[in-house]
Amino acid sequence: MFLICMRGWHWNQLKEIARYTLITCCRLSVPVMKRHANILSSGWRTLSKSLMKKPSVAIVMKSVPGTGKGTTVKPLLQILGQYAAHINGAGHISGRFNSILANKLLVFADEVTIHKPSEADRLKAIISEPTFNLERKGIDAEPMPNFARLIFASNSTQVLQAGIRERRYLVLEPSPEKAQSREYFDRLYSWLNDGGAAKLLWHLKGVDLSGFDPQRAPQTDALREEILLGLSGVELFLYGELINEPPFNGEVRLFAKDMVSRFVAWSLERGEKLKEPAARSLLGKSLAQMGLVKHGRPDRGNGVFYELPEVGVLQAAFARLIGMGGL
């Protein structure tokens, strides 16, 4: 199966790779860094132990150029040989013709930026579904078992079309600390060229997978950023209101008719025509999901209104609405 022989080695070199190439040192505490490195190591371990048990999570690395995203994946590609592929962009995976996925255990897509919601939806299905429709040029599509683990790399600020409550991606931001560092990469390539892939396989064969769940990824700060960048419609409108100083213009009582008017005007500024009944329905559902209680009646006084709690409570409620741990 594997095209290399295992070699015993010291773990220190890979720990350094995990630290600088995979984990954002400036944004994660040391315990969190270690936890993410262990998650990655366990995920790689499934390639050598549970080949037919496909995780439903893809890894995304986004950073400035030169941090070693592609170098990190190189030994995995060497380990898997013909059962792995390195491509540019996500089009060969999410496009009509997707033969690159056939008989692959790992596909590494470099320079990825997902622009269209339709492309994002196709990728989500490929990440999580046990089968996919294989289509080659001039040949009818046919169902095919899907064993491919996906790793994406990008230099873009926004890589995904992440939806609210996104759960299919482990998004990491490699530290720029060693970007373009000749000394660091000389040592790294020296390790890779001296049987690095074999040494990595040796380590992975000994990783304890007890307690590791390949179907769930932790929500990182980088994923939260992707979710916020991907907001649209009523969620984006409410987010804008919440980050204003003060939120909701400092109001403690929110009148529905005023909010609807602001939402309609905001939509028009963005080139989107939204009728008042639709705006009222969208706002009402979202505010109810945030736990805000509706008071009053449309035909009396100033109509329906909501009593606003303190800002921290509001922000926590909105974070739950979009599936995040906090703003």
| pLDDT tens, residue by residue, 148-166 | 999 999 999 999 888 888 8
Let me know whether 90 and 186 are in one domain. Answer: yes
pLDDT beyond 80 at 34: no
Residue 6 lies in a domain: no
pLDDT in tens, 167-186: 889 999 888 888 888 998 89
Tell me which residue of 193, 191, 189, 153 sits closest to 173, measured CA to CA: 153
Domain boundary among 156, 191, 224: 224
Query: Each residue of 121-156: b (16+ CB within 10 Å) or e?
Result: ebbbebbbeeebebbeeeeeeeebebbbbbbbbbbe
pLDDT in tens, 205-238: 777 777 777 788 888 889 999 999 989 999 999 9
Residue 89 lies in a domain: yes
Cα–Cα distance between 300 and 13 in angstroms, integer?
Answer: 70
pLDDT in tens, 76-99: 899 889 999 999 988 889 888 888
SS3 content of the chain, % helix, strand, coil (to 5): 45, 15, 40
Residue 96 lies in a domain: yes
Q: What is the DSSP letter of 99?
A: G
pLDDT (average), residues 267-293:
95
Q: What is the DSSP letter of 292?
A: P
Pairing of strands 169-172, 253-255: unpaired
Residue 16: how many CB atoms within 10 A of its CB? 15
Q: How confident is the model at residue 1 (pLDDT cuts 50, 70, 90)?
A: very low
Residue 111 lies in a domain: yes
Polymer length of the chain = 327
Let me know whether 164 and 209 are in one domain. Answer: yes
Three-class SS of residue 157? coil
Cα–Cα distance between 69 and 154 in angstroms, integer?
Answer: 8
For residue 154, the enclosing domain spans 12-224
Cα–Cα distance between 191 and 184 in angstroms, integer?
Answer: 11
Domain boundary among 224, 248, 268: 224
Residue 92 lies in a domain: yes
The answer to whether the predicted template modeling score (pTM) of the entire model surpasses 0.85 is: no
Cα–Cα distance between 66 and 155 in angstroms, integer?
Answer: 9
Domain total for the chain?
2
Residue 327 lies in a domain: no
Three-class SS of residue 192? helix
Let me know whether 76 and 155 are in one domain. Answer: yes
Backbone angles phi, psi at 289, to 5 degrees: -65, -25
Residue 180 lies in a domain: yes
Let me know whether 199 and 259 are in one domain. Answer: no
Domain boundary among 224, 242, 275: 224
CB 94, CB 113: distance < 8 Å: no
Let me know whether 242 and 185 are in one domain. Answer: no
Residue 60 lies in a domain: yes
Let me know whether 20 and 141 are in one domain. Answer: yes
Which domain CATH number covers 91? 3.40.50.300
Let me know whether 65 and 107 are in one domain. Answer: yes
Residue corresponding to tokens 């209680």: 293
pLDDT beyond 80 at 272: yes
What does R_g of the chain's alpha carbons equal in angstroms?
23
User: Which residues are within 8 A (CB) of 12 and not within 5 positions of it... i.e. 6 or more apart?
Assistant: none
Task: Return the pLDDT at 9.
Answer: 43
Let me know whether 122 and 262 are in one domain. Answer: no
